[in-house]
């Protein structure tokens, strides 16, 4: 059975592998605080169907409680260690989910898959509330393919060693505002990550979806350009990697090793 990746916008993807549906950082809102969805229709109800949900870190555009509330009872949700303390009312508001706290090095079997937790270089705190610190995470989903979901991360020295061999890399290439803060990949650095990781395929995510209200004219290229820039940089730095630049709601069957 081929592996299928669907990008719903921002960092939200569905990965179907070995009959298991994996959902990453679900964000199904038209508006979140000062951000509004500028491109792509809201994901359909089918996007909220998953066997396991991977939460990369506690920022509200990645761990969005109202979106998680739409998941079916009994859905397994992997969250960074400390999430239940750092996010007010998390367990109380999501009693229907099987919340499981994880740290880098953990491996969680889900059906015919194994989800391995890997580090990320990013501020994992829940902002702006509380001093609790939780690690930012990435995940490697191993089944018919090995798919790396990076969450939010910057480049880090041991990235290739920690992530290991992968077939597909879901990499952030932008953000939701005119400037990227520390601990992010832009299009150029994401292409450098391809050099380190050497996947067969890559899908750029985390760009071209949300933008601050009233700032449409401020550095608009940071909203529109990262996907195309990533393709351009990847051709130059990692020409053997096939890059699939998806539209919102579009799916692809990436090539994997056999």
Is it the case that residue 6 has pLDDT exceeding 70? Answer: yes
Give the span between the Cα atoms of 166 and 163, in whole angstroms: 8
Q: Which residue has the higher pLDDT, 1 or 120?
A: 120
**CB 31: neighbour CB atoms within 10 A?**
10
pLDDT grade for 181, boundaries at 50, 70 and 90: confident
Question: Could you give the count of Cα atoms lying within 13 Å of 82 in the half-sphere of its Cβ?
Answer: 16
The answer on pLDDT for 130 being more than 70 is no
Please enumerate in sequence order all residues whose Cβ is within 8 A of that of 228, keeping only pairs 6 or more positions apart, or say none: 245
Report pLDDT for 255: 81
Q: What confidence score (pLDDT) does residue 256 get?
A: 78
Phi/psi of residue 251, nearest 5 degrees: -120, 160
**How far is 159 from 154, CA to CA, in rounded Å?**
10
3-state secondary structure of 139: strand
| Separation CA 172–CA 93 (nearest Å) | 29
Q: Is 80 helix (H, G, I), strand (E, B) or coil?
A: strand
Percent share of the chain, pLDDT over 70: 96
Mean pLDDT of the chain: 95
Strand 168-172 and strand 113-119: the pairing is unpaired
pLDDT of residue 127: 63
* The pLDDT of residue 131 is above 90: no
Contacts of 112 (CB under 8 A, 6+ apart): 17, 18, 19, 20, 143
pLDDT in tens, 35-68: 999 999 999 999 999 999 999 999 999 999 999 9
Q: What whole-number distance in Å separates Cα of residue 7 and Cα of residue 157? A: 28
Burial, 126: exposed, middle or buried (Cβ in 10 Å; 0-12, 13-18, 19+)? buried
Q: Residue 229 is encoded by which pair of tokens?
A: 């820039």
* pTM of the predicted model as reported, rounded to 2 decimal places: 0.96
pLDDT in tens, 137-174: 999 999 999 999 999 999 999 999 999 999 999 999 99
Strands of the sheet with 210-212, listed across from one edge: 31-32, 35-37, 210-212
73's tokens: 């009872």
Q: What angle do CA 174, 179, 181 make, to 5 degrees?
A: 80
């Amino acid at each position: 059975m081929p592996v299928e990746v669907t990008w719903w916008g921002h960092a939200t993807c569905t990965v179907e592998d070995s009959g298991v549906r994996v959902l990453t950082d679900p964000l199904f809102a038209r508006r979140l605080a000062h951000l509004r969805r500028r491109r792509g229709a809201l994901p359909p109800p089918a996007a909220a169907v998953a066997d396991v949900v991977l939460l990369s870190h506690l920022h509200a555009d990645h761990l969005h409680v109202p979106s998680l509330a739409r998941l079916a009872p009994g859905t397994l949700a992997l969250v960074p260690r400390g999430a239940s303390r750092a996010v007010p009312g998390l367990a109380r508001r999501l009693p229907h989910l099987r919340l499981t706290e994880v740290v880098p090095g953990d491996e969680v079997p889900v059906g015919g898959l194994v989800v391995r937790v890997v580090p990320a270089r990013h501020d994992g705190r829940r902002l702006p509330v509380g001093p609790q610190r939780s690690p930012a995470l990435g995940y490697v989903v191993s089944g018919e393919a090995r798919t790396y979901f990076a969450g939010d991360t910057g480049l880090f020295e041991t990235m290739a060693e920690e992530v290991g061999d992968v077939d597909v890399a879901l990499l952030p290439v932008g953000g939701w505002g005119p400037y990227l803060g520390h601990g992010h990949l832009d299009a150029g650095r994401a292409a450098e990550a391809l050099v380190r990781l050497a996947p067969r395929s890559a899908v750029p995510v985390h760009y071209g979806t949300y933008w601050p209200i009233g700032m449409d004219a401020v550095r608009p290229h940071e909203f529109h350009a990262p996907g195309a820039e990533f393709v351009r940089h990847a051709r130059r730095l990692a020409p053997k990697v096939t890059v699939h630049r998806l539209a919102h709601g579009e799916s692809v069957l990436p090539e994997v090793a056999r």
